[in-house]
Amino acid sequence: MLLRFDPFRDFDTIFRDIERRNGQRATSVPFDAIRRENEIELRFDLPGYDKDDIDVTVENGVLKLTAERTWTVPEDEQVLASERFHGKVQRWVELGDHVDTDKVKATFDNGVLRLVFPLVEKATPRHIEIGGPALEAESTKVEA
């Protein structure tokens, strides 16, 4: 039987184990983006978070989402396993110029944050007619 040797095969597992031992994990939040005729909807998965643990800001066309979940173990309890993520996660999404960030609707239900942004009316190209001079100048003779 021929086995294929891949020296990098176990790196992902090794790095995940190191991160777990150091109390760190990946800090990205998965999301979906859906475009409809007049809006864009973003859906972020944040299972196990409370609405009050989530912060969403928009600045210069960039949405920044941060959420933090903490876990305090009482002194009389012993942790036998700890695989769930506790700590801060974040995600940045560039929205672009066609999104109206002043009229966003946000809901949080069953661990899914939904943000619905209306689209601004697109600037349509227009033909501009060029007319004659606005004021016709008359030449007059000035005598000294």
Short-list 32, 49, 27, 38, CA closest to 93: 32
Domain count, the chain: 1
pLDDT surpasses 60 at 78: yes
DSSP 61-75: TEEEEEEEE-----T
Q: In the chain, pLDDT over 90 holds for what percent of residues? A: 38
Per residue in 13-55, pLDDT (tens digit) is: 555 555 555 555 446 789 999 999 889 999 999 998 999 999 9
Q: Let me know if residue 20 belongs to a domain.
A: no
Range of the domain at 110: 26-71+84-118
CATH number at residue 31: 2.60.40.790
